[in-house]
Amino acid sequence: MKVDVLLGLQWGDEGKGKIVDVLTPKYDVVARFQGGPNAGHTLEFDGRKYILRSIPSGIFQGGKQNIIGNGVVLDPLLFKQEAEALAAGGHDLTKCLSISKKAHLILPTHRVLDAAYEVSKGDGKIGTTGKGIGPAYIDKVGRNGVRVGDLLHDFDAKYAAAKAKHEATLKAMNYKYDIRELEAEWLDSLNYLKKFNLIDSEHAINNYLKEGKSVLAEGAQGTMLDIDFGSYPFVTSSNTICAGCCTGLGVAPRNIGEVYGIFKAYCTRVGSGPFPTELLDETGETICSNGNEFGSVTGRKRRCGWIDLVALKYAIMINGVTKLIMMKSDVLDSFEIIKACVAYSINGKEVTGFPYEIDDTLEPIYVELPGWETDMTSIRSEDEFPEEFNAYLNFLEEELEVPIEIVSVGPDREQTIIRYTED
Ligand code: GDP
Ligand code: IMO
Ligand code: MG
């Protein structure tokens, strides 16, 4: 068996959580491979809404194993809050969720450092989620990190050494903070974490594959936020791309199967950084309000714009996407005209490859397509698609050269249309 990967092709929040939940019945195991509580993955079913941050989105389909892989950075306190809220709602995870011993811990001082680095960047700030993601990954790469497995031995010394380094940095930055209360709660939450199965997830996943079990890897963030290929430096600190699944779970490249690339029928971004098709006008506002485009973790308003096929083609290339999933089609229901960016004009020159630098000289080049002006939210079958919607899908498939297998027309699990049956 191989691992199928589902990942975002834009700047995050494409709807990964919803589709992982929809696809989970086909799989035995669902695993997160990177990121941490910067993610906010929303699922809706039976009139209820859940937002998952560190916990994989396969937990609601019953009987599935879920894994937090080594590539994830885990804040035990936020994890405890998330898991306890789920347990209170009847979803006890201690039997169905395992955590890699090699996953790195986000310490209270990482959160403080995240804030301090943002302040030090002034106008150039990234607009992080403030969850300590960057500093935790810095420590991982700098070989100063504290891992989940350290909870089982020598934790106190490792924690004290890391904390002392952070305190020295914060002192040098002259950054004032008080984490006494947070730290006490954080230390207390470590006991909760120990109730879970702490495992060598690379062995577990490879054993599952050998036993013929199917695994779905759930990406966080999106390709344009990838540390290497995203709009650097306005990115997150992990590899959000398909290759991140290999390093974040211990899966060999030849064991990757389908790569599901998920995108919105338009585009959004939260935080700072370039966004070529951003709409700072009424159209952008309409997309924002129709799509309820507010961050699920931070509540921040998401920037909105038309779909960007230059960036999407780049993301499809980097990830080797085999199947596409288009989300939030219903958000464009009211538009008479829909635009799609097919190239950029940079200093009067037409560019179709995603460029190294994006600055104010870049102008998107759009094609216009007729809108469907139909309420899509109650559509449940492809036969009911309006003609203009089919034309939009055909146009995208021709441009992107990958089939759009799933179309989403609303936030609920049921509002999902599978277009092609399995080969
Ligand atoms: P993720 O981080 O990729 O899992 O995405 P988020 O959960 O952060 O953001 C997606 C938002 O869109 C959530 O509020 C979902 O409930 C919502 N959503 C998902 N699919 C659809 C859809 O097809 N239509 C609409 N209107 N909302 C959707
Ligand atoms: P999901 O998984 C959208 C953005 C932040 C910021 C940048 C760096 O829900 O799609 P970080 O806290 O990671 O250091 O912030 O990345 N960002 C996201 N944007 N969706 C996410 O996750 C994001 N996770 C981080 O807004 O611009
Ligand atoms: Mg999200």
**Is-contact 209 1, C-beta < 8 A?**
yes
What pLDDT does 301 receive? 96
269 has which bridge partners? 303
Mean pLDDT of 318-328: 98
Cα 325 to ligand 3 centre (Å): 16
What pLDDT does 177 receive? 97
Cα 154 to ligand 3 centre (Å): 35
CA 302/CA 278 separation, integer angstroms: 10
Query: Is ligand 2 within 6 A of the CB of residue 7?
Result: no
What pLDDT does 420 receive? 76
Burial code of 82-95, b = ≥16 C-beta within 10 A, e = fewer?
Answer: bbeebeeeebebee
Return the best residue to mutate from 41, 216, 300, 328 for the ligand 1 pocket (most ligand atoms within 8 A of CB).
328
Return the best residue to mutate from 327, 332, 380 for the ligand 1 pocket (most ligand atoms within 8 A of CB).
327
**pTM score over 0.85:** yes
What average pLDDT does the structure give for the chain? 97
- Ligand closest to CA 300: 2
- The residues that are catalytic are 13, 41
Summarize pLDDT for 344-372 with one digit per residue, the tens.
999 999 999 999 998 888 999 999 999 99
What pLDDT does 423 receive? 52
What pLDDT does 99 receive? 98
Summarize pLDDT for 256-305 with one digit per residue, the tens.
999 999 999 999 999 999 999 999 999 999 999 999 999 887 889 999 99
Cα 324 to ligand 2 centre (Å): 21
Instruction: Indicate if the pLDDT at residue 124 is higher than 90.
Output: yes
Identify the sign of the CA torsion 378, 384, 385, 387.
negative
Summarize pLDDT for 374-397 with one digit per residue, the tens.
999 999 999 999 999 999 999 999
Q: Whose CA is nearest to atom 21 of ligand 2?
A: 221
- Ligand closest to CA 136: 2
CA 113/CA 135 separation, integer angstroms: 6
- Determine which helix (DSSP H) or strand (DSSP E) holds 374, and give its type and residue range: none
Mean pLDDT of 57-63: 94
Mean pLDDT of 221-242: 98
Reduce the DSSP state of residue 31 to 3 states and report it.
strand
Q: Which residues contact 362 (CB under 8 A, 6 or more apart)?
A: 276, 344, 345, 346, 355
Mean pLDDT of 217-240: 98
Looking up tokens 């939030």 gives: 328
Summarize pLDDT for 126-173 with one digit per residue, the tens.
999 999 999 999 999 999 999 999 999 899 999 999 999 999 999 999
Q: Whose CA is nearest to atom 13 of ligand 1?
A: 42
Lowest-confidence segment of 15-24, 81-90, 135-144, 290-299 by average pLDDT: 290-299
